[in-house]
Amino acid sequence: MGQEYALTCEAIDIVLSDSPQKTKRLLLGDVLRRILKADVFASFVCDASGPYADPVQLDLGDDALRAYHRHFRHVDDLTPRLFARGCATRVTPAAGFSAEFVHDFLHRGGMYHGMNYFPAGAGPGSVDLRVWRGRGGRAFTEADAQVLQSFGNLVARTWPRETPSGQKPLSRRETQVAELVAEGYSDKQIAAALGIAPPTLRTHLSNAFAKTGATNRAALAAHHLRHRQK
């Protein structure tokens, strides 16, 4: 009990410290691994496309992070489900999830039993916490989930949301354009509705694509509906 109390105090001190956020995520992850007897820790910042920016890791490896960014995030059907729950969720991926993601990324990285925290109302700038145990470990318990939920909520309440690296928020006009795209307006209809010339509209669309990572109008519409920027 004495060690658990000391680790809890250490974690709270880290969350409330004035250190840079990325440093705090790594330090907090180290303490959480000890509290929860986890093997791997990772944390991402949510950007315009979801919880995929500015990763930090302990015992996962930078090569694995690069592989995730290049390929596995596109076949990862687990993270979006956990993200949508907006809480600490225990998971032991098996049937029902992408076999490629589970076997070629999670299991290859020694991740068999996981617990991911995403804050309620997560959006650009919000931080998640992810811990995993290896093949020889046991699944996390509900008590473990309550611990991760408590620290995640403390982070969500005390850390200001930051713009992820390389991401900029949409301007007011770009947001209006994205909203009308999501409502199915054509370029001609959007230009008329906003009282702007077609070349100006194309500039706003190009900027919105660049900021959100969208590659087409459908992706921009999906971004707007997901985040409802105002």
pTM of the model as a whole? 0.72
State the pLDDT at residue 124. 86
Amino acid at 160: P
> Does residue 12 surpass a pLDDT of 70?
yes
Task: Report the helix count and the strand count for the chain, using DSSP H and E.
Answer: 10, 5
Determine whether 80 is exposed, middle or buried from the number of CB atoms within 10 Å of its CB (0-12, 13-18, 19+): exposed
Q: Range with the lowest mean pLDDT among 57-61, 76-80, 132-136, 207-211? A: 207-211
> Does residue 166 surpass a pLDDT of 60?
no
Alpha helices, DSSP H only, in the chain?
Answer: 2-16, 21-36, 62-70, 79-85, 99-101, 142-158, 172-182, 187-194, 198-212, 217-227
Domains and CATH numbers, the chain: 2-158 (3.30.450.40), 172-227 (1.10.10.10)
* Each residue's pLDDT tens digit, 44-84: 999 877 898 899 999 999 999 999 988 998 899 999 999 99
